């Protein structure tokens, strides 16, 4: 498969909220450009791009997929990205290697929270984009309403290059404002005259387009003001420059499922979105020399030193690990050796592929601007850079959001812990938003991700790919126990068993420490009441006993133990006897010193739109949260600073999504421990007692 000139390549991410029609649009683009011979359907599970069983069952894109096609001498590399909030971080990684984006806005539902999020990602990478108003064939579709909503939401001017011919059941085609021709349904519709009833509207939008073009060029503005008509060449040039400089956003429209407006959209993609060469003038290809930290700038040319970025990893159970990459400069050849500047290792490159969904098309080499896949690399991960060893560069990795929800997991079959761990580490290779850890206190395996659906899908994949079945449950909260008053007690251990006995006797005082004070052991033995060699044993017995408190079996914290007296037997005393005596003493002391349960408090930062601020604060108050402050944010948002019990925040991701219609964001970190209210503490103590009785039954 021949490489294309860099000026003829378009790397395009299709982005939107879930359900806007991204996958259906990519299917139509592939079909109308002749890359596929049928129009796949999401509802039937027959699309090229959503091929994972979990995607087919849920009818949503879960992981981004690649495709390529040719249109009027151009190579278009398409990336179908997720729009569901749990998987939207994958879209960020794909935009990192895209030069342009098609943002879909539904003619029915308009702009949603996820639409705003992916728009923000595109802004961060300075990516030119075009908007496709989809679903014009649906009931209640409204082109003007969608146009107005996107201008308001994105604070940018939208300039239609196509307008619809009707809407709903009456939608029959689009009017191309540049060509001033009408195009109806089909892969290669013949141009028609604009219907008489749409002529005035088309003229109005063409006038707006020409005005925007003229405003960006003094010579064209003078020509326009003097009554001169702009030529087709001037209009086309002006449309492209306006799009690349993001002075306005070109808008197309149509219906992906009805296959209307798709050829016009393909024309718009090749005209308005940049080649890798043009993108490099907008956002230069910058990296660092891994050896001295100096800045390196690459030019997007085949004769430049090799530089390529690995933006995604897929753990395929049959093909092994697949590494998706974008070549920024130079040429990557099959059956070659490359230098991984991130890991400072060399990798053997075997066969290279283009991807069309899950189908692989072999390539002998991939030149500048191309996106491809290589299998079975040993030391390469997402975010790594391939480069020329003699002229190395390393590109910045994508910073993904931290997980926001955690669950405990356990294998369904006993003895499968190692199998679960191994499989999850394979899953971690392909999903940078997933975390796996072990809680040292509870001994639980914890899996963390971007939402409950994210974790459920991960576990479904583990079962399908690796035959591992696990159950998911809410993780245990690391409660603590402490005391509120001081007391003095004696711990005395005496045992006679016919021969040599056991004897240890200690007197201790326990006192509460300030919150976070930990544990202190003070030795005040004088006069040899307890021999020096036995004092460490007393401390050890106390420390070990503190691992399990008297209320609910949680670790004891924030107390000082002073050993001030005791006695011993010259024959029967031993380290073991004094260790047991220390253990007995601390348990007795804690029971007398008004023990209480402590709960972990997290520091939370919640960003919410102005209109849902009251609802979010009210919800935090119902969770025993303490709002510390509210700070205004850009874009009409507010950031709430609060301290909330950890137990109330375990499923907060779902609740915040519901309260803010998906627009809310939050992060949290452990802050401190606080005494738990008696009513809640009694529930925890009762639950632990029931668990203990069930275990002993």
Give CA–CA dist 634/51, Å, rounded: 39
pLDDT of residue 445: 86
In terms of Cβ atoms closer than 10 Å to its own Cβ (0-12, 13-18, 19+), residue 577 is: buried
Backbone dihedral region of 264: left (phi > 0), alpha (psi from -120 to 50 degrees) or beta?
Answer: alpha
Q: Tally the domains of the chain.
A: 5
Question: Same structural domain for residues 316 and 223?
Answer: no
pLDDT of residue 565: 96
371-375/320-329 β-pairing: antiparallel
Q: E strand or H helix at 467, and its extent?
A: none
DSSP 411-438: ESSTT-HHHHHHHHHHHHHH-TT-EEEE
Residue 398: inside a domain = no
Residue 534: inside a domain = yes
Question: Same structural domain for residues 275 and 304?
Answer: no
pLDDT of residue 330: 95
Give CA–CA dist 238/618, Å, rounded: 51
Q: In what order do the strands lie in the sheet with 320-329?
A: 345-349, 336-340, 385-387, 307-316, 320-329, 371-375, 352-356, 359-363
- CATH code, 325: 2.40.30.10
pLDDT tens, residue by residue, 429-448: 889 999 998 877 677 888 98
pLDDT of residue 384: 96
**Number of other CB atoms surrounding residue 444 within 10 Å:** 17
**Placement of tokens 């040429």 in the chain:** 331
**Placement of tokens 């085949």 in the chain:** 302
CA count, 13 A, side-chain hemisphere, 257: 16
Question: Same structural domain for residues 157 and 33?
Answer: yes
Residue 686: inside a domain = no
pLDDT of residue 155: 85
pTM over 0.85: no
Q: Find all residues with CB under 8 Å of 640, minimum gap 6, and list them.
A: 604, 605, 606, 607, 608, 613, 616, 617, 620, 627, 629, 630
Question: Same structural domain for residues 228 and 309?
Answer: no
**Placement of tokens 């909030």 in the chain:** 85
Q: Which of 265, 282, 299 is the last residue of a domain?
A: 282
Residue 1: inside a domain = no
Report residue 478 as tokens.
Answer: 């690391």
- Long-range interactions of 47-53: CB distance < 8 A, separation 24+: 47/23, 47/357, 48/356, 48/357, 48/359, 49/23, 49/80, 49/357, 50/23, 50/80, 51/357, 51/358, 52/461, 53/460, 53/464
Low-confidence residues of the chain, pLDDT below 70?
Answer: 1-2, 317, 319, 441, 498, 634-635, 697
Q: Which domain holds residue 314?
A: 286-387
Q: E strand or H helix at 260, and its extent?
A: none
Residue 399: inside a domain = no
φ, ψ of residue 461 to 5 degrees: the values are -65, -40
Question: Same structural domain for residues 412 and 444?
Answer: yes
pLDDT tens, residue by residue, 448-459: 888 788 898 999
473-81-652 Cα angle (round to 5)? 30
Give CA–CA dist 258/385, Å, rounded: 41
Question: Same structural domain for residues 629 and 505?
Answer: no
Backbone dihedral region of 662: left (phi > 0), alpha (psi from -120 to 50 degrees) or beta?
Answer: left
Question: Same structural domain for residues 238 and 365?
Answer: no
Report residue 366 as tokens.
Answer: 């991939």
pLDDT tens, residue by residue, 357-413: 999 999 999 999 999 999 999 889 999 999 999 999 999 999 988 887 788 898 888
Note the Cα 553 to chain centre separation in Å: 36
- CATH code, 71: 3.40.50.300
Question: Same structural domain for residues 159 and 228?
Answer: yes
- CATH code, 460: 3.30.70.870
The DSSP symbol for 623 reads T
Question: Same structural domain for residues 444 and 528?
Answer: no
- Could you list the beta-strand ranges (E) of 117-226: 129-134, 158-160, 162-165, 173-176, 181-184
Q: Find all residues with CB under 8 Å of 119, minimum gap 6, and list them.
A: 15, 103, 129, 153, 154
- CATH code, 670: 3.30.70.240
- CATH code, 537: 3.30.230.10
Question: Same structural domain for residues 167 and 228?
Answer: yes
**Number of other CB atoms surrounding residue 636 within 10 Å:** 9
Report residue 143 as tokens.
Answer: 């082109």
Report residue 332 as tokens.
Answer: 């990557």
Q: Which of 578, 593, 608 is the last residue of a domain?
A: 593
| Chain length of the chain | 697
Give CA–CA dist 312/371, Å, rounded: 11
pLDDT of residue 261: 95
pLDDT of residue 473: 84
**Number of other CB atoms surrounding residue 297 within 10 Å:** 11
**Placement of tokens 């205004």 in the chain:** 632
Residue 31: inside a domain = yes
3-state DSSP assignment of residue 157: coil
Question: Same structural domain for residues 189 and 40?
Answer: yes
Give CA–CA dist 35/658, Å, rounded: 40
Residue 2: inside a domain = no
State the virtual CA torsion across 453, 109, 253, 13 in degrees, nearest 10: -20
Give CA–CA dist 121/126, Å, rounded: 9
The radius of gyration computed from the CA coordinates of the chain, to the nearest angstrom, equals: 33
pLDDT of residue 86: 85
Quick one: which of 504, 447, 437 has its CA closest to 474?
A: 447
3-state helix, strand, coil in the chain (%, to 5): 30, 30, 35
Question: Same structural domain for residues 528 and 447?
Answer: no
pLDDT of residue 4: 85
Q: Which of 593, 609, 638 is the last residue of a domain?
A: 593
Residue 193: inside a domain = yes
Burial track 391-401 (b if 16+ CB lie within 10 A, e otherwise): ebbbbebbebe
CA count, 13 A, side-chain hemisphere, 112: 19
pLDDT of residue 2: 59
């Amino acid at each position: 498969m021949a490489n294309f000139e860099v000026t003829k390549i378009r790397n395009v991410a299709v982005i939107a909220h879930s359900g806007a029609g991204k996958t259906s649009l990519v299917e139509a683009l592939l079909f109308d450009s002749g890359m596929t011979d049928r129009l796949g359907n999401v509802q039937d599970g027959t699309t090229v791009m959503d091929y994972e069983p979990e995607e087919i069952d849920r009818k949503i894109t879960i992981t981004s997929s690649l495709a390529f096609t040719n249109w009027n001498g151009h190579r278009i590399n398409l990336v179908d990205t997720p729009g569901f909030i749990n998987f939207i971080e994958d879209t960020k990684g794909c935009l990192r290697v895209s030069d342009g984006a098609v943002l879909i806005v539904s003619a029915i539902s308009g702009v949603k929270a996820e639409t705003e999020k992916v728009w923000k990602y595109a802004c961060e990478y300075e990516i030119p984009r075009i908007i496709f108003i989809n679903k014009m064939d649906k009931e209640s579709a409204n082109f003007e309403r969608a146009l107005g909503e996107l201008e308001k939401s994105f604070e940018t001017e939208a300039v239609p290059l196509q307008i619809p011919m009707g809407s709903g059941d009456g939608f029959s085609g689009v009017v191309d404002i540049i060509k001033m021709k009408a195009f109806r349904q089909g892969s290669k519709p013949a141009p028609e005259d604009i219907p008489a009833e749409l002529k005035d509207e088309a003229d109005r939008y063409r006038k707006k387009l020409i005005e925007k073009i003229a405003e960006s060029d003094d010579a064209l503005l003078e020509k326009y003001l003097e009554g001169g008509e702009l030529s087709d060449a001037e209009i086309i040039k002006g449309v492209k420059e306006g799009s690349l400089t993001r002075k306005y956003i070109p808008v197309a429209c149509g219906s992906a499922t009805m296959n209307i407006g798709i050829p016009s959209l393909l024309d718009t993609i090749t005209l308005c979105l940049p080649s890798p060469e043009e993108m490099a003038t907008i956002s230069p290809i910058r990296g660092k020399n891994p050896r001295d930290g100096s800045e390196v700038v690459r030019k997007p040319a085949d004769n430049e030193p090799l530089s390529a970025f690995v933006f995604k990893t897929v753990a395929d159970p049959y093909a092994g690990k697949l590494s998706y990459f974008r070549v920024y400069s130079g040429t990557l050849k099959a059956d070659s050796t490359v230098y991984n500047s991130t890991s400072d290792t060399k990798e053997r490159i075997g066969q290279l592929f283009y991807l069309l969904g899950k189908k692989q098309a072999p390539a002998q080499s991939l030149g500048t601007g191309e996106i491809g896949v290589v299998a079975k690399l040993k030391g390469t991960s997402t975010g790594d850079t391939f480069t020329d060893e003699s002229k190395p560069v390393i590109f910045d990795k994508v910073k993904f959001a931290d997980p926001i929800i955690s669950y405990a997991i356990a294998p369904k079959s006993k003895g499968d812990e190692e199998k679960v761990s191994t499989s999850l580490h394979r899953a971690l290779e392909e999903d940078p938003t997933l975390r796996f850890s072990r809680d040292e206190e509870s001994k639980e395996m914890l899996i963390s991700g971007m939402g409950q659906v994210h974790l459920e899908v991960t576990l479904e994949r583990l079962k399908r790919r690796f035959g591992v079945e696990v159950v998911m449950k809410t993780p245990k909260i690391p409660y603590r126990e402490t005391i509120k008053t001081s007391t003095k007690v004696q711990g005395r251990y005496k045992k006679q068993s016919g021969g040599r006995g056991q004897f240890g006797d200690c007197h201790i005082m326990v006192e509460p420490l300030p919150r976070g004070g930990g544990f202190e052991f003070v030795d005040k033995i004088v006069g040899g009441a307890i021999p020096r060699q036995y004092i460490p044993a007393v401390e050890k017995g106390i420390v070990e006993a503190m691992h399990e408190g008297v209320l609910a079996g949680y670790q004891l914290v924030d107390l000082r133990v002073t050993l001030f007296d005791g006695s011993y037997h010259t024959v029967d005393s031993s380290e073991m006897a004094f260790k047991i005596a220390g253990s007995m003493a601390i348990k007795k002391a804690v029971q007398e010193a008004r023990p209480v349960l402590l709960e972990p408090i997290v520091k939370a930062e919640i960003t919410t739109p102005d209109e849902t601020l009251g609802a979010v604060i009210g919800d935090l108050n119902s969770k025993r949260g303490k709002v510390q402050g509210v700070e205004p944010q850009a874009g009409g948002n507010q950031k709430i600073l609060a301290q909330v019990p950890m137990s109330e925040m375990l499923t907060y991701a779902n609740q915040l999504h519901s309260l803010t219609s998906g627009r809310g964001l939050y992060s949290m970190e452990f802050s401190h421990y606080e005494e738990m209210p008696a009513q809640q503490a009694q529930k925890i103590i009762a639950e632990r007692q029931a668990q203990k009785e069930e275990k002993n039954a």
